[in-house]
Structure 1
Amino acid sequence: MKILCPQCQQPLQQADKHWQCAQNHHFDRAKQGYTNLLLVQHKRSKIPGDDAQMVSARRRFLNQDFYRPLSQAINTLALKHADSKRKLVIIDAGCGEGYYTQQLAQACIAAEQSADITGIDISKFAVKAAAGRNKNIQWFVANSSHLPVEPNSNDLVLSLFSPLPEQEFKRVLKNDGLLIVASTGQRHLIELREKLYQTVSSEALDPCQKLAAHFTKSHEQNISYTLDLNSSESITDLLSMTPHYWRATVEKKQQLSQLSQLTVTIDINLYGLQLKQP
């Protein structure tokens, strides 16, 4: 898959320690193995995305395979769309610290499916952590609304608990490609939320409605189970990797940090969506 220059949209060529286009725009490759292609005008804030604390918490939590059932469901859905006769081109748009991207890469190897995988995230801290997981995956700091890849180039686009820039997904996906979306269900982490808020909302995003202009649903799956957290660190890490960390009061977060055991409900909806044909 060709990587495009975020400034002029010309293909970037990789040299030893940098990427460069024909217009001589130059992007250094960090020693950790990732490249920052995020332009200032594509930033939402001075330091966009998850901060170092959230990334570290998510990494510790996911490394315990608490969300492995979701990862396995993603891998199964992705490989169903694969063709062993050709390389599978994949972009994880909002890869975070790389857990799901790396698990998919391993699943492709186990299935003897050749794959060209790219992970992007707007958080430099997340991509830096992701780059440590797998040197065979291309990792970039970039905005999912400005993916640095060619039009109609991807067999699979992953958006897992991430923004859904419909037009951009439409642009980069092949006509027969698959968009895989994971979003939280109504009861996701209900026990955690009940400890943080007086009133708990039961509303859940329906990504299919948001994407309805250009995509049609071809797969829907609910992944539900309970998770026993038996340490204050795991409970605190779970909170720190969610938006609830910023919404809850200091008092409620302190109360939660004193717990040594908590059972929470995992309720996640997984979708496969394909482009509507003209």
Structure 2
Amino acid sequence: MTNTTLNTGQPQYRCPLCKESLLMTDKTYRCVNNHCFDQAKQGYVNLLPVQFKHSKTPGDNKDMVNARRAFLDKGFYQPLVNAMTTLYQQYAPVSAVVFDAGCGEGFYTHQHKSDTNQVYGVDISKETVKIAAKKYHECFFSVATLSDLPFHDEQFSWITSVYAPILEQEFSRILKNQGYLLTVTPGAEHLLALKSLIYQNAKEHDETKQVIKDMTLLKEEHLTYEMNFNDTNDVLNLLAMTPFAFKASKEVIEQLTQLNTFTCQADFILRLYQK
């Protein structure tokens, strides 16, 4: 599949520098003020100007990306995918324009693609976007910051945010009136068994924290299940894709490597909001 065969027209971006519309000609996005952004060979576009970066290579590094991709491809989070797509099918309009905030390597992004909609994914990490665009040609991917998204006001009817920063003001700006925002955040016991190996007093996640103030909460679902591992590589990949990987000692890594089996809880909270 290619971007031109399974989408309803050219992707709609706005210039991150002057906020005017970007039009693509000969694989270059250009605005009326002649700001230009080339489409990479993998199919994505980098809309994160160097002056907007806070570091040389912001976002997840290549090792974290590869670990997450290997873990997700094993299907351990498939129940989460099923819950997300069920809500999408129940609530989203047929020809929805979908945005995945903090899309990573596109695992959740492409699950929302149909023959009648447009699906966009944005991440600040070029490494992740490169992988996403190379694998999922039917979606539009770009490198950008969530705090200043390269989209026009009220462009989307469905936004997903899975473990990404939730910036209500910016999300609300690009969301149509009556549009939906689906957030996925960790439940109290998410990966608690793994955290307990790393921290002496591993704390449960705070489920009460909600950052959405001005949208209507339509639905809240709690999804929890056990993940049983028989391959230490899967456990190490799970660790590598979490923020507390940086706290894991060599002893903990060695302990995980020696395990024949390991059981860990997946615990998610899905909240569906409407603007």
For normalisation by structure 2, the TM-score amounts to 0.92
Q: Which runs of 5+ in 2 are unaligned?
A: 1-10
Quote the Cα distance in structure 2 between the aligned partners of 1:41 and 1:201: 38
- DSSP-derived class of the 1:33 partner: coil
Report the RMSD for the aligned CA atoms in angstroms: 1.4
Does the aligned pair in 2 maintain the 1:93–1:144 contact within 8 Å?
yes
Q: Deviations over 1:62-109 (max 9, x none)?
A: 11111011011111111222233xx2111101001111111221xx35
Letter paired with 1:196:
I
Q: Is residue 2:54 matched to residue 1:44?
A: yes
- 1:14 pairs with one of 7, 17, 24: 24
Counterpart in the other structure of 1:183? 185
Counterpart in the other structure of 2:211? 210
Counterpart in the other structure of 1:96? 104
1:142-157 matches, within 5 Å, as 142-157=144-159
Identity, % of aligned positions: 40
Quote the Cα distance in structure 2 between the aligned partners of 1:259 and 1:48: 34
- DSSP-derived class of the 1:135 partner: coil
Residue 141 of structure 1 and its aligned partner are, at CA, apart by: 0.5
Residue 195 of structure 1 and its aligned partner are, at CA, apart by: 1.1
- DSSP-derived class of the 1:77 partner: helix
Tell which deviates more after alignment, 234-243 or 197-206.
197-206
Q: Deviations over 1:100-126 (max 9, x none)?
A: 111221xx35xxxx1111000001111
Counterpart in the other structure of 1:139? 141
Q: Deviations over 1:164-221 (max 9, x none)?
A: 11110110001100001000011001111111111111232545x3111x22211100
Quote the Cα distance in structure 2 between the aligned partners of 1:11 and 1:240: 38
- 1:26 pairs with one of 6, 21, 36: 36
Quote the Cα distance in structure 2 between the aligned partners of 1:188 and 1:33: 35
Quote the Cα distance in structure 2 between the aligned partners of 1:174 and 1:138: 19
Quote the Cα distance in structure 1 between the aligned partners of 2:255 and 2:137: 40
Letter paired with 2:211:
K
Counterpart in the other structure of 1:228? 228
Does the aligned pair in 2 maintain the 1:195–1:256 contact within 8 Å?
no
Residue 230 of structure 1 and its aligned partner are, at CA, apart by: 1.0
Counterpart in the other structure of 1:219? 219
How many residue pairs were aligned? 265
Quote the Cα distance in structure 2 between the aligned partners of 1:182 and 1:104: 15
Letter paired with 1:230:
N
Counterpart in the other structure of 1:82? 92
For normalisation by structure 1, the TM-score amounts to 0.91
Counterpart in the other structure of 1:122? 124
- DSSP-derived class of the 1:145 partner: coil
Does the aligned pair in 2 maintain the 1:219–1:272 contact within 8 Å?
yes
Residue 254 of structure 1 and its aligned partner are, at CA, apart by: 3.1
Q: Which runs of 5+ in 1 are unaligned?
A: none
Counterpart in the other structure of 1:173? 175
- DSSP-derived class of the 2:181 partner: strand
Does the aligned pair in 1 maintain the 2:186–2:205 contact within 8 Å?
no
Q: Is residue 2:74 matched to residue 1:68?
A: no
Quote the Cα distance in structure 1 between the aligned partners of 2:207 and 2:45: 32
Does the aligned pair in 2 maintain the 1:33–1:139 contact within 8 Å?
yes
Quote the Cα distance in structure 2 between the aligned partners of 1:81 and 1:59: 28
Does the aligned pair in 2 maintain the 1:196–1:253 contact within 8 Å?
no
Does the aligned pair in 2 maintain the 1:6–1:37 contact within 8 Å?
yes
Does the aligned pair in 1 maintain the 2:38–2:45 contact within 8 Å?
yes
Letter paired with 2:44:
Y
Residue 40 of structure 1 and its aligned partner are, at CA, apart by: 2.5
Does the aligned pair in 1 maintain the 2:112–2:119 contact within 8 Å?
no
